[in-house]
Chain A
Amino acid sequence: MRKPQALLDRVDHPPWWRDRRVIPWLVQGVVGLLLLVLIAFLLGNLVHNLTARGMLLSWRWLGEPAGFDISESFLPFDAAQPYWRGLAAGLANTLRAVLSGLVGATLLGTLAGMASFSRNGLLRGLTRAYVEIIRNIPLLLQLIFWYFVVFLSLPNGTAALQIPGVVLAKSGLYLAGFSQGMHWSLPQLINGVWQAPWRLSVEFAALLSGLIIYSGAFIAEVVRGGIASVPKGQWEAATSLGMGWFPTLRHVVLPQALRVIVPGLNTQYISLAKNSSLAVAVGFSDLYSVAETTLNQTGRALEVYLLLLGAYLALDLVISVVMNGLNRLVQIRER
């Protein structure tokens, strides 16, 4: 009878390195220590290197005049204004690109996602081809293509592409709108230069086209997955109750599909916001490109980096909060 007793003893009182109560603390202690040593090592080097160069964290340079210009800015900005105004103008440009990109990509993606359920085989194939082509080519390559190949080779002056209310020329995209109060005006050619109430630079137009078409393909997949997740019986049940195609989609399918679509959209929106930083490749002065110029002029790598990171994290957070709110609205409410 001694053997089983010894076995029981070993199970009840294992050596300390196999004790269930000790192991978690042991593991966490070791990992925590390693992390602490790593962080202390990196921070120590940082402080040491920055002190050696006399560049310890300081924010005073933000108030100095920037000395560079921003080609296109929502907030008025010129070279004599301080750096922080330049960064704010860059942030405004980023926000403008992200917001218009979100709207455009959502529209395009929703249309393409719905078209992949069309009865027309050709339309289905075309949607499929769009998604497969766009998703397998790097966004940066697409942006550069839009800018250098498409928009920069547009003609200027009278040869510009014109549809009523819209003119697309090498100097920019001109849109009709209200100018000087309530006065509707169309783009017009004055002394060989187009004038219109709304003008988008080609840089912005290239960035926007690239972002919308790229994100649209991903959003189309999200929408397609959402609609496909609704069981076929739902369509059939609604039809047999006498509902038409659109009422079925509107009242039966979409409310159920949205529960799947909204979380997917959240991911896509955040990656669109982050992808907008590739604007630097097409010469649009977004936050990242202004920050890069600022760094080259001031050499304040760490401060610029912290600002940049903070801005993008905040942007992601805002998108997430809004989308989570939306998600709560569309989730099913159990009785």
Chain B
Amino acid sequence: MNLLLRRLRADLFATPADGALSLGLIALISAAAVGLVQWACQKAQWAVIQANSTLFAVGRYPEAQQWRLWLLTALLTAATGVSWGLLRSHPRADREGQLWPRNDRLVLGLLAAVALWVPWALRLAPALQSRWWLLAALLGASRWLAGRFGSHLSRPLLRLFPLVWPLLYLIGMVLISGGLGLMPVPPSQWGGLLLTLLTASFAILLCFPLGVLLALGRRSDLPLLRWSAVVYIEFIRGAPLITLLFLGQNILGFLLPGGLAPDRIWRAAWVLTFFAAAYLAEAVRSGLAAVPKGQAEAARSLGLSYPQTLVRVVLPQALRVALPAMVGQFISLFQDTTLLSLIGLLELLGVARTVMANPEFLGNNREVYLTLALLFWSCCAALGLGSRALEKRLDPQTLSQSASRP
């Protein structure tokens, strides 16, 4: 108690001026907090969110086909649970094996609370509510199974497990768009969070190899490669994203033979990809610059070929340095998907604007924008947290500590 008081005094009331400032800030913050809570509990009409929750989640995806999205969600949940269990519960060089480390228990509790509270707060139909609970239970169960019995699996199986993710991505694409015996659902019917996540994940996955290639090109000794990479990167970075989306919607049709231009949504997704690749290339380039030249020279003099040097020696070090900047780019790419609403696509923000154009929900824009802000904030903050954890885990100091342990 004494310590706390002393700490408070040093932090907030060290000098009279400091004390006055602190008091003012405390008054300001508590007034704002009280106002916000009062508004959220009494004045806000959350019906606009409750009535349109499906629209926000998947847009105008046909109701008869929505079981495909539930199936995809279940598959993703199971894969997440298994990966989580395999990553966290097994003894590693730097850590004892523990089925439920403390942070994991925290995260599980948080997820359970969200899965219980959000469907209830959204006033979903009981059938839908129970589906969310089942999904939460599936996550916990697969996490537990993988943590408990994962170590009995054979090594090759464990090594191959990450391949589940690209496979799942392809399965997801088929489930969403149809084909292979499923009824096709055209992209114009995708929307809401589904479209946001789809375009963001598509762009993030594809911009990564492109960005690495561009960064290597920019640092190449061959003038032609270097200059084409420089021209591309600077051209893309000089233009606002909205003008590039505009290019994709209005001019791409002229650049390709008639009828070859893809659907508007895919055009926008490709524009996002090419846009993000230029920024990612700059992040990777800073990482490449941080790898001492001696590393590549040492690898070459040991007889490694150029591709081997790159893949085994230079890139692992460069990408580790570039990781924070790269995740920063991914976060801003995720935020940039909101710009799709400006070219008339119905991603989250686009759906929000159509909902607010509905006379029934006129004047409810605070509730909608606050919900969207909270959604975006939690996604981006989670990405940032994950990046910081990964950064710490890949830090050479942690790695060398873990290697020196018996």
| Chain A interface (Cβ < 8 Å from any Cβ of B) | 24, 27-28, 31-32, 35, 42, 45-46, 49-50, 119-123, 126, 132-133, 135-142, 144-145, 148-149, 274-275, 277-278, 280-281, 288, 292, 295, 301-302, 305, 308-309, 312-313, 316-317
Contact = CB atoms under 8 A, between A and B. Distances in A.
Interface string B70-82: 0000000000000
B334 to A, nearest CB: 8
B214 interface: no
Contact of B11 (A121, A281, A295, A317): A121
Contact of B242 (A122, A278, A301, A313): A278
A291 B237 CA distance: 20
Residue of A49, A138, A280, A316 with highest tally of chain B CB at under 10 A: A138
A52 B381 CA distance: 50
A224 B15 CA distance: 24
B173 interface: no
Given A119-B14, A121-B12, A277 B242 contact: yes
B359 interface: no
Given A28-B224, A137-B376, A140-B341, A312 B243 contact: yes
A133 B240 contact: no
Given A120-B11, A288-B243, A301-B250, A45 B255 contact: yes
Contact of A313 (B239, B250, B339): B239
B243 A277 contact: yes
A50 B254 contact: yes
A319 to B, nearest CB: 11
Tier of interface size on chain B: 35 or more
B342 A301 contact: no
B228 A35 contact: yes
Given A27-B225, A120-B18, A305-B250, 5 more contacts: A28-B224, A32-B224, A138-B338, A278-B339, A308-B243
Residue of B242, B247, B258, B365 with highest tally of chain A CB at under 10 A: B242
B373 interface: yes
18 contacts: A27-B225, A31-B228, A45-B256, A120-B22, A122-B26, A133-B377, A136-B376, A137-B335, A137-B377, A140-B341, A141-B376, A142-B373, A144-B369, A148-B365, A274-B241, A288-B240, A288-B242, A308-B243
B44 interface: no
Contacts of A45: 254-257
Nearest to A313: B238
Given A46-B254, A120-B21, A305-B247, A140 B339 contact: yes
